[in-house]
């Protein structure tokens, strides 16, 4: 087997992402803006594939879950009811000497980690971004950019349940942007101020909540493994009693071992009936469910799975990165790979180019493909390896004679001769969604 090493520092990944236009600083022509990122063509494809894999596993592929897409700006009372206005704060400290700012709960000691200077006492800082609805900047018009997508689900829960004739246990999931004015963003896209979440709120009778929680922890953990994450680098960490939010009955984090240590990529929580109870109280709407069969009326309990798209993307990139003697390769799961196949004419001869373009056009109808005619074939393979393209298709003079091409596989680098007519079916089988 080929000798290789994995990712050793975040700098390597940041530099690959920059060089290949996967992810790079936003507004760079103006010098960039702290912790805001743009996803280029490959990054955008990768992100879509991650969201698609989540949506398939969590919503479409299940009979008990439905999707939603709720508004980013909501009625401000939502945030009063959820507790975010009062409690969604981080303790902030400033260094009196170098003026740097830190999250008190992230510090190991009570002196500045940069210069050793004395720190101010912690102040609570609310993480929600504020803005105004309409042209008048007055207190009555203050609204917030959502810091999580979950509250949109709770606020729409009754409508979705009634219009869909849903009956607990059922889940409502959504994917969308969230915003947090983080005190100390960093570690590339791990912590930023604008990011995407994939959240599922699963509503269940209180009696079955414990079991549903266990099941969701298992389902979500398996999702990462099925998508190829190295089992020795991912773990489930249960929250200690003193870490739990006051309303939560249980909570686990799914953590990944990044070059900067074990870090949360997803949280799964048994939230009791806290959310629906609060919204019922603040909105005055009855949010209970009446079971016609048992004649029981109750507030469902919520099991929540909350994953970050960007953190998940970083996980898949970090985990699949490997350096071998002759190449750097992203051994990313084919389902997630931004480009599924690259088509190469062996030489820049008109008949080969024409044939390769025709194959590209045909495959484009079903797959994300790219075409490359520049440089030696070895270089072209490496360019694709580096961004995780699972298959290379080379068109040569034999193709013109007998209609066969070379199909090269990214991980094993094996090559086989296959007929063009079989390409579609072969790729579909190899890329088959099995997660
Ligand atoms: P942390 O303790 O790291 O600030 P959290 O416990 O506040 O995170 P949750 O509120 O549980 O995070 O959010 C659920 C998920 O949303 C996280 O597991 C993460 O994947 C993602 N997420 C949260 N904050 C950010 C952020 N600032 N940037 C990118 N992703 C984030």
Ligand 1 pocket, mutate which of 197, 275, 309 (most atoms under 8 A from CB): 197
Domain boundaries, the chain: 10-77+140-321, 89-126, 339-433
Q: How far apart are CA 5 and CA 322, in angstroms?
A: 6
Structure token pair of residue 340:
């599924």
The superfamily (CATH) of domain 339-433 is Anticodon-binding domain (3.40.50.800)
The pLDDT, as a whole number, for residue 193 is: 96
Residue closest to 12 by CA, chosen among 265, 330, 255: 330
The pLDDT, as a whole number, for residue 269 is: 98
**Distance in Å, CA 206 to ligand 1 centroid:** 27
Burial 378-396 (b: 16+ CB within 10 A, else e): eebbebbbbbbbbbbbbbb
**Distance in Å, CA 301 to ligand 1 centroid:** 22
The pLDDT, as a whole number, for residue 39 is: 98
> Are the CB atoms for 178 and 195 separated by under 8 Å?
yes
Q: How many Cα atoms are found within 13 Å in the side-chain-facing hemisphere of 351?
A: 7
Give phi and psi for 89, each to the nearest 5: -125, 155
Cβ neighbour number for residue 363 with a 10 Å cutoff: 21
* Residue nearest atom 14 of ligand 1, based on CA coordinates: 306
The pLDDT, as a whole number, for residue 283 is: 98
Residue closest to 188 by CA, chosen among 338, 10, 31, 21: 10
Q: Is the dihedral of CA 382, 384, 387, 389 positive or negative?
A: negative
Burial 287-312 (b: 16+ CB within 10 A, else e): bebeeeeeeeeebbbbbbbbbbbbbb
pTM, 2 dp: 0.95
Q: Per-residue confidence of the chain (435 residues) as pLDDT tens digits?
A: 678 999 999 999 999 999 999 999 999 999 999 999 999 999 999 999 999 999 999 999 999 999 999 999 999 999 999 999 999 999 999 999 999 999 998 898 889 999 999 999 999 999 999 999 998 888 889 999 999 999 999 999 999 999 999 999 999 999 999 999 998 899 999 999 999 999 999 999 999 999 999 999 999 999 999 999 999 999 999 999 888 988 899 999 999 999 999 999 999 999 999 999 999 999 999 999 999 999 999 999 999 999 999 999 999 999 999 999 999 999 999 999 999 999 999 999 999 999 999 999 999 999 999 999 999 999 999 999 999 999 999 999 999 999 999 999 999 999 999 999 999 999 999 888 654
The pLDDT, as a whole number, for residue 434 is: 54
Q: How far apart are CA 178 and CA 136, in angstroms?
A: 24
- The pLDDT tens digits for 218-262 are 999 999 999 999 999 999 999 998 889 888 999 999 999 999 999
**Distance in Å, CA 56 to ligand 1 centroid:** 22
The pLDDT, as a whole number, for residue 1 is: 62
Structure token pair of residue 153:
């689900």
Q: Which residues line ligand 1 (CB under 6 A)?
A: 180, 182, 191-192, 195, 197, 264-267, 306-308, 310-311
Contacts of 175 (CB under 8 A, 6+ apart): 51, 54, 55, 69, 149, 196, 197, 198, 199, 309
- Matching residue, tokens 């009778």: 205
Q: How far apart are CA 315 and CA 260, in angstroms?
A: 12
At the second CATH level, the architecture of 10-77+140-321 is: 2-Layer Sandwich (3.30)
The pLDDT, as a whole number, for residue 430 is: 87
Structure token pair of residue 352:
């080969």
Residue closest to 267 by CA, chosen among 217, 195, 210, 319: 217
**Distance in Å, CA 29 to ligand 1 centroid:** 29
């Amino acid at each position: 087997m080929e000798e290789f090493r994995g990712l050793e520092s975040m700098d390597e990944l940041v530099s690959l992402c920059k060089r290949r236009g996967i992810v790079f600083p936003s507004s760079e022509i103006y010098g960039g803006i702290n912790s805001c990122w743009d996803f280029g063509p490959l990054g955008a494809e990768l992100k879509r594939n991650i969201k698609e894999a989540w949506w398939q596993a969590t919503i479409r592929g299940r009979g008990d879950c439905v999707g939603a897409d709720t508004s980013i700006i909501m009625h401000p009372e939502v945030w009063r009811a959820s507790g975010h206005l009062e409690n969604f704060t981080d303790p902030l400290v400033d260094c009196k000497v170098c003026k740097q700012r830190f999250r008190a709960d992230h510090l190991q000691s009570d002196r500045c980690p940069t210069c050793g200077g004395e720190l101010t006492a912690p102040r609570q800082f609310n993480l929600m971004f504020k803005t105004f609805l309409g042209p008048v900047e007055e207190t009555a018009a203050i609204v917030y950019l959502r810091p999580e997508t979950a509250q949109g689900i709770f606020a729409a829960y009754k409508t979705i349940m009634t219009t869909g004739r849903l009956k607990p246990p059922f889940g409502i999931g959504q994917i969308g942007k969230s915003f947090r004015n983080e005190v100390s963003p960093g570690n590339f896209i791990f912590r930023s101020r604008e990011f995407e979440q994939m959240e599922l709120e699963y509503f269940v009778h209180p009696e079955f909540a414990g079991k549903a929680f266990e099941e969701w922890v298992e389902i979500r953990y398996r999702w990462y493994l099925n998508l190829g994450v190295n089992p020795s680098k991912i773990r489930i960490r249960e929250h200690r009693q003193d870490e739990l939010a006051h309303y939560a009955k249980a909570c686990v984090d799914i953590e990944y071992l990044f070059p900067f240590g074990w870090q949360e990529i997803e949280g799964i929580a048994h939230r009791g009936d806290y959310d629906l109870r609060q919204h019922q109280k603040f909105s005055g709407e009855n949010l209970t469910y009446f079971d016609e069969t048992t004649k029981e009326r109750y507030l469902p309990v919520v099991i929540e799975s909350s994953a970050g798209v960007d953190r998940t993307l970083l996980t898949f990139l970090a985990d699949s990165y490997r350096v071998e003697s002759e190449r750097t390769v992203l051994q990313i799961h084919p389902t997630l790979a931004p480009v599924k196949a690259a088509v190469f004419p062996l030489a820049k001869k008109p008949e080969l180019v024409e044939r390769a373009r025709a194959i590209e056009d045909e495959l484009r109808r079903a797959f994300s493909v790219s075409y490359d005619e520049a440089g030696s074939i070895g270089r072209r393979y490496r360019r694709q390896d580096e961004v995780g393209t699972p298959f290379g298709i080379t068109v040569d003079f034999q193709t013109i004679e007998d209609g066969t091409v070379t199909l090269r596989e990214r991980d094993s680098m094996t090559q086989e001769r296959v007929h063009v007519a079989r390409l579609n079916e072969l790729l579909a089988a190899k890329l088959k969604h099995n997660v």
